[in-house]
Chain A
Amino acid sequence: METRIGVYICHCGTNIAGKVNVDEVREYASHLKNVVVARNYMFMCSEPGQEMIIKDIKEYGLNRIVVAACTETLHGHTFREVAKKGGLNPYLVQMVSIREFDSWVTEDKVEATEKAKSLIRAGVYRVNYHTPVETTTYPVDSNVLIVGAGIAGITAALVLADAGKHVYLVERQGFIGGNMAKFDKTFPTLDCASCILTPKMSAVKNNPNITLFTYSEVEKIDGFVGNFDVTIRKKPRYVREDLCIGCLSCIENCVYKEPRFMSEFDEGIGKRKPVYVSFPQAIPLVPVIDPETCIQFRTGKCVQTCLKGCPTKAIDFSMKEEIVKVKVGAVIAATGFKVFDATRDTKYGFGRYPNIYTTIQMERMLNSAGPTGGEIRLQDGSIPKEVAIINCVGSRNENFNAYCSRVCCMIGLKHAHMLRDSIGANVTIFYTDIRANGKGYEEFYRKVMLEGVNFVRGEVASIIPSENNRLTIVFEDTLLSRVRKKDVDMVILNVGLEPHDDWEDVRKVLNLTCTKEGWLMEKHPKLAPVTSLSDGRFIAGAAQFPKDIPDTVAQAEAAAAEAMSLIDRGFVESEPNVIRIDEERCSGCRMCISVCPFSAITYNEEKNIAEVNTGLCKGCGACAAVCPSKAISQNNFTDEELYAEIMGVLRE
C-alpha cells in the first residue's frame, strides 16, 4: 500500500510559532517524500486541531501521521487517540518535539526553524517504517497499596475504602498519623490537630476495606501496572495485635516504673518505657516493645511484669518477622518528610546550649497530650518571657537546602501566636521573607502581627549562651544593614523539611524517580502532579515536596482518584514496545536470553529458537540491540525506524 503521510505542525500559541517559522516549516514538510498534506495550526491538541487530523485522514486517505508539537510524554496519547478515531492504528503516529527540544531551547529563530525542519524530516522518514502495533489488555486488580500512613496515606486510604476498594496501608512506624499526629494546633484556623486527625485514624482502623500494616515496610514490588505483587515485611512488635485489647496495663506494669528512654515520637523532649505507645489515642492501640531497651531482650532475664499484667497474655517475646504477600493494581507512595537536623548548621548552637528547640519539638511541648502536658518551661522550670523564632533553618541556604520549605513561615506564626496566648511571652520572629500565601494565611499573619509579635528581617550569625541562662542572638538586621544582638530566654529553630535519609532505597523498592534532593518526582509538574513516571504508581503529600495539610489532603484525594480511575477502567493495555522474534531468522544463539533483565525470553530446544513472553517483556530493547541474526524487532523502535530517524536528523 502506498504510504500517505500527514504532517501537523503546532504553533502552541507563541511557544513554538514565536521561535519557529511555522509556515516555512510546513512548506518544507509538504515536499518531503510521501507527504500528502502538511498543515500548521494554533493548538494542535485542541478539539479543532484534533478534528482537523481526523478529517484529513478520511479525506486524503492518510495512513501515517507526524505531529510536530510538544512531547510524546505530554501528548503522545492524545494524538494516538486521534489516529484511532480517524480509523488508524494509533502507532502509525510519530510525535516530534519542536517545543521542548527546539523552540524552548534555541535562541536564534533561523536556527530554531532549521532544527524544526530536520526533526520533522526525521519524523517523516521514521514514520514510513511504522507498522501497526496491537496491544492486549490485562485486568486490573482492584486492591491498592498505600505506603506511609501520615495524613496523606490516611486520606487516600479512606477515599478508596469508601469507594469499596481494598487498601493495604503500610506504615513503618508502630502507629499511624505521621507528623500531623505530633501537632497541637494547625494553622491558619488553629483547630486542634488531634480533633481533626484522630477521627480519621479510627476510621482507618474500623474500615473493613483497609488492612493496616504498622511497623512494616514494603520489601519488594514485582509485576506491572494493574498486577503488582507486593511483599510486605512486618517487624515483630512483641505484642500480638490479635490478642491485645489496648488496656495498656503492660506499660503501667513494666519493671521500669518511670519512662527512661528517649521517645522518638516526642522528638527527644519526652521519655518512654521499653514498651510504649506513641500517645494515648494511638492507632493501633497496641504497644510496641523496643528490643534495644527492653531488659528481657538485653539480658534475657526480666521478670516480665508487663506480661504478668496483661489480661490477655498478648505479649510474645518469640514473635518473628513476618513476610506477607498481597496483590494490588495500583500503588500510592505517601512517605512524607523528616525535619532538617539543626545540629548540621552549627551556628545555631542546637544540641549544645540549653533552651534551644526546633519547631517540631515545640509542637510536642505545646501539645496538652505531650510530654510537658502543654506547659512551656525553660530547663530551670521557669516560664520564658522572651522567645525568638528563627526561620529558614536549613532552608533557602545553598549549603543545606536551596529550596524554600513552604510551611515553616506559617509554623513560626502559629507558634508565636500560641506562645503569646498561653504564656504571654514576648516573641520575635527572625525571618528572611514571610511567605503566607495560602487561603487565610496572609490574614493570619496580619493577626499575629497585630497581636504584638515582633518581626526582624535578619540573618542570624550565631547563638551563644549569656548570663542567667539566657541566649544571645547575634544577627544582621538586613533592613538596617547592621549587626545587632538580642538576649532571649528561649530560641525556636524553624527547621525546614527534607526527604527521609533512606529515600534512595525506598525509591528503588517502589520503582520511582526522585529529584536530586530526594523528593518524589511527578510525571508533570503541572498536569500530572500525582502521577509518577512508572505506570500505576502515584504519589501524594509531602513526599513529593514540602506542603501544608490542605495541599497534602488535596493531593491524597487526587492520587486516590487516579488509582480509582485506573481500577474502574478495569484493564490496562499491555506494554506496546515489546519485541517480536522472527522464527525464520532466529538462529537459537540465545544472546537475547543472556541480556533480558526480565527473563522474558526462553529457548525452545526442539525448534532451536528463542521465544518471547510478551507479558513479561517490558520493552527495553536490549535484546534487539544484541540479536546478531536481526531476528528481533522492537515495536515502535525497530532498527529501520531508528536508522531512518538518525538519517533524517542528519540529512539536509
Chain B
Amino acid sequence: MSENFEPKIVAIFCYWCTSQAAELAGTSRMTYPPNVRIVKTMCTGRVDPQFILWAFRNGADGVIVSGCHPPNDCHYEDGNFKWFRKYVLLSRTLEQAGIDPKRLRQEWISASEADKLKKVLTEFTEEIRQLGPLNHTIREGGV
C-alpha cells in the first residue's frame, strides 16, 4: 500500500436525511476527510446497483450509501428498505467477484446526526485507506 494513497470515495446520500446531516455538518463546521464526494438522490430507493459499479469502474475505491433510518424515517415510506435489499444482494455479488464488500458501505444517518456522519465518513475513509486502491476492475492479461 503506497504511503500517499488517497482513496476516492463516492457518497450517495438521500436528500431528506443524510444530505441534511451533511449540510448540518457543514453549518456546524465539523471536518471530515476531503476524499468523500457527495452525490445526492431524492431517496436511497433511487440507487441502482449499476451506479455503484459505475463508481468503482470510474475509479472509486469505496462507495457509501446512506439514507433515513428504518423503519419509519424514509420520506417515501420504504425507499430505505428497497436500497437495503439491493445492497445485500449486491454485496454478496461483489464478494464473489473479488471486490471486498467492505468497499460498499451502507448507513442510516438522520438529518440531525451530523456527528454520526462525521464519524462514519472519517472511519470509512480510513478503512478504505487500509484496504488500498481498488485495482480489480480492469484485470487484464494477454490482450
A and B touch in the complex (CB under 8 A): yes
State the A residues within 8 Å of B (CB): 71-73, 97, 99-102, 104-108, 111-112, 114-115, 118-119, 122, 504, 508, 511, 513-516, 521, 525, 533-534, 577, 595, 597-598, 618-622, 624-626, 634, 637, 639, 642-643, 645-647, 649-651
In the complex, what distance in Å separates the CA atom of A119 from the CA atom of B26?
Answer: 15
B39-A122 in contact (CB<8A): yes
* B41 A621 Cβ-Cβ under 8 A: yes
**Chain B 28-45 against A: per-residue CB contact (8 Å), 1 yes, 0 no?**
011110100111111101
Q: Known contacts being A597-B79, A637-B42, A645-B39, is A513 close to B8, with CB within 8 Å?
A: no
Size category of the binding interface on chain B: 35 or more
Closest to B23 in A: A100
Q: What's the least CB distance linking B126 to chain A, in Å?
A: 16
| Known contacts A515-B112, A620-B45, then 14 further A-B pairs from the complex at CB < 8 Å, ordered by chain A residue | A72-B40, A101-B22, A105-B26, A105-B30, A108-B34, A115-B34, A119-B37, A598-B76, A621-B45, A622-B46, A622-B82, A624-B48, A634-B42, A646-B10
Chain B CB within 10 A, most for which of A97, A101, A108: A101
Nearest residue (CB) in B for A108 is B34
CB neighbours of A650 from chain B (8 A):
8, 10, 37, 55, 58-60
Q: Which residues of A contact B31 (CB under 8 A)?
A: 105-107
- A527 to chain B minimum Cβ distance, whole angstroms, is 11
B20 touches A625 (CB 8 A): no
Q: What separation, in Å, do the CA atoms of A209 and B18 have in the docked complex?
A: 41
In Å, the complex CA distance between A73 and B43 comes to 15
List chain A residues, Cβ under 8 A from B42: 577, 619-621, 634, 637
Supposing A513-B16, A637-B41, A646-B58 touch, asked if A71 and B79 sit within 8 A by C-beta, the answer is no
| B51 adjacent to chain A (CB < 8 Å) | yes
- Contact check, A100 vs B46: say whether CB atoms are below 8 A apart: no
Question: Which of these, B8, B23, B112, contacts A516 with CB under 8 Å?
Answer: B112
Given A99-B26, A101-B38, A107-B31, does the pair A651, B59 have CB atoms closer than 8 Å? yes
Which residues of chain B are near A622, meaning CB under 8 Å? 43, 45-46, 76, 79, 82
Q: List 27 A-B contacts (CB under 8 A).
A: A71-B23, A97-B26, A97-B38, A100-B23, A101-B22, A102-B34, A104-B27, A111-B34, A114-B34, A513-B16, A513-B73, A513-B112, A516-B113, A525-B27, A533-B16, A534-B75, A621-B46, A622-B43, A622-B46, A624-B48, A639-B48, A639-B50, A642-B41, A646-B10, A646-B55, A646-B60, A647-B58
How far apart are B112's CB and chain A's nearest CB, in angstroms? 5
**Cβ distance B137 to chain A, nearest Cβ, rounded Å:** 12
- Please state if B20 and A73 are interface contacts (CB–CB under 8 Å): yes
In the complex, what residues of B have CB within 8 A of residue A521's CB? 111-112
